[in-house]
Structure 1
């Protein structure tokens, strides 16, 4: 099994990150994900890279910064993979490493099963093409309306740029999740109104047994109903963690709903919203927390045009 993980890791490092012999390659991990991280570290060595493994204490939530020495090491490496329980995607450390020219992939919560099956096995050339198409639709759009189960949430994306997470980070400064396949955007803060039914999974909670109904006024959660509602609000806290920070659309046809949001938010036919920080991709919220919730088979309108019906893209 270890050999198979190392072989898959080599393939991922070459095809998705373009790792070459002689480059500096840093794997950032925590105690929870150390075993998978070791397979990546080993793969980097076998590819002739100057491989390094940095292990830190598990963070308490997604969006929390790593220790300063790790952030410095990230910014001084050619290629960085963050394989941790909680996500480092929406951190200053990730943003600064990309600005310094690192090619960087974050794999929050990734499991052995996800490595061996599912989203990582997608045809990333195909995923990239769809992701870029959806990103353009988001960039050109002004307003979004999401409808599901009789509830509707509307918000503005005017003046904001869509961000592609294609799974291929081959040029200096490119970064995103692996496995990947999503296009996302930072909604304009303070304007979202309505309700949304989250029925797939929630970062930090897992696969939902029953839906959550979130009510948003002036861009902020005012109430949440459902079995996991209290837990969600506790993770987000009482401050800016409750603000709507992200809207994303999944574009990976091999991804499955597993309860790990890293894969769930990439599932073709789903969308996701996140609450909390978005200052790392064009927004203004810095909350120290970023929690995604996945919605299956929604209807999505951009500028009143139906682009997705029950999870299917309208061509």
Structure 2
């Protein structure tokens, strides 16, 4: 669901990239004068979005820098220059990529220990969650049309509704999922904590997807039962059929 603002000028299709990026910089990440902003991106359509974020950051009198690397899959390593740029601990790190940011070779082989005494396999995660020194948002696979439609929304309403949904899940004991095709699943969530991606990344240690808008919870291990019917998966060009799991 998209949460449009009361201001009709914010309808994504009628806004320019720079206007949408100003919303992201102000309402999502709350960039301040003099803050260092590192934008990591790739050639192509995502670069267009990144350049608009660069311009928006300048309008707030921040100090933006863009670093461009070739697109990376989940199996590939980020360029060393990208890792070193993150190590410089800018106030804000933004990843606008065709696929992924890229893995951290040192983190995977040796690892980083955060101020929370937890071990991290990427310098980005260590600085964001372990040290809480930076704040961030990331947009893997983003395209301009999606950015224009899904970023200029009512963030106050989004955060309110995400909070309400998270409270409901926190107090809940079971989630029941049923479909016309036969799924009838009971998922135990007693004692589990809900998480929300509500576009509020305004403080160090905060980060998430943009576009935002998600509330999720993991099930209690070994306490779910029922039937799942899979009616869609990766298309392989072969005849489709339902997969029923008890």
Do the structures match in fold with TM over 0.5? Answer: yes
Structure 1 contact 153–196 (Cα < 8 Å) conserved: no
The match for 2:198 among 128, 152, 166 is 166
Looking at CA atoms only, which structure, 1 or 2, has the larger radius of gyration?
2
The structure-2 alpha-carbon separation of the partners of 1:15 and 1:103, relative to structure 1 and needing over 3 Å to count, comes to: same
**CA distance in 2 between partners of 1:39 and 1:163 (Å):** 30
- How far 1:127 moved relative to its partner? 0.6
Q: Deviations over 1:209-266 (max 9, x none)?
A: x99856567xxxxxxxxxxxxxxxxxxxxxxxxxxxxxxxxxxxxxxxxxxxxxxxxx
Q: Please state if 1:37 is matched with 2:68.
A: no
CA gap 1:212/1:144 in 2 versus in 1, 3 angstroms = farther
CA distance in 2, matches of 1:216, 1:104: 39
Which position in structure 2 is the counterpart of 1:96? Answer: 126
Q: Distance in 2 between matches of 1:211 and 1:87?
A: 30
Moved over 6 A (4+): none
Partner in structure 1 of residue 164 of structure 2:
133
**Deviation of residue 188 (structure 1)?**
4.0
Instruction: Give 1:107 shift.
Output: 1.2
Distance in 1 (CA, whole Å) between partners of 2:95 and 2:51 is 12
Q: Could you tell me whether the CA contact under 8 Å between 2:196 and 2:214 is conserved in 1?
A: yes
Aligned 8 A contact 1:102 1:173 in 2: yes
Aligned pairs for 1:255-270 (under 5 A) are none
SS in 1 for 2:90: coil
Which residue of the other structure, out of 175, 178, 186, is the alignment partner of 2:210?
Answer: 178
Partners of 1:184 and 1:191 in 2: CA distance: 18
| Structure in which a larger fraction of residues adopt helix | 2
Partner SS state of residue 121, structure 1: coil
Q: What is the RMSD of the two structures over their aligned residues, measured on CA atoms?
A: 3.5
Pick from 22, 46, 58 the counterpart of residue 34 of structure 2. 22
- Relative to its length, the structure with more strand (as a share) is 1
Residues 192, 216 of structure 1: 8 Å contact kept: no
| Comparing 180-189 and 16-25, the one that deviates more | 180-189
Can you give the 5+ residue segments of structure 2 that lack an aligned partner in the other structure?
1-12, 103-120
1:215 & 1:97 partners in 2: Cα distance?
A: 43
TM-score, with normalisation over the residues of structure 2? 0.69
Q: Which has the higher contact order (CA 8 A, sep 6+)?
A: 2
Q: Residue 57 of structure 1 corresponds to which residue in structure 2?
A: 70
Give structure 1 stretches of 5+ with no counterpart: 218-315
Task: Decide whether the 8 Å contact of 2:230 with 2:244 is kept in 1.
Answer: no
Matches within 5 A, 1:283-302: none
Supply the distance in 2 between the matched residues of 1:102 and 1:212 (Cα, whole angstroms): 47
The 3 A distance-change label for structure 1 pair 155 and 56 is farther
The equivalent position to 1:5 in structure 2, one of 8, 17, 20, is: 17
Number of residue pairs the alignment of both structures matches: 207
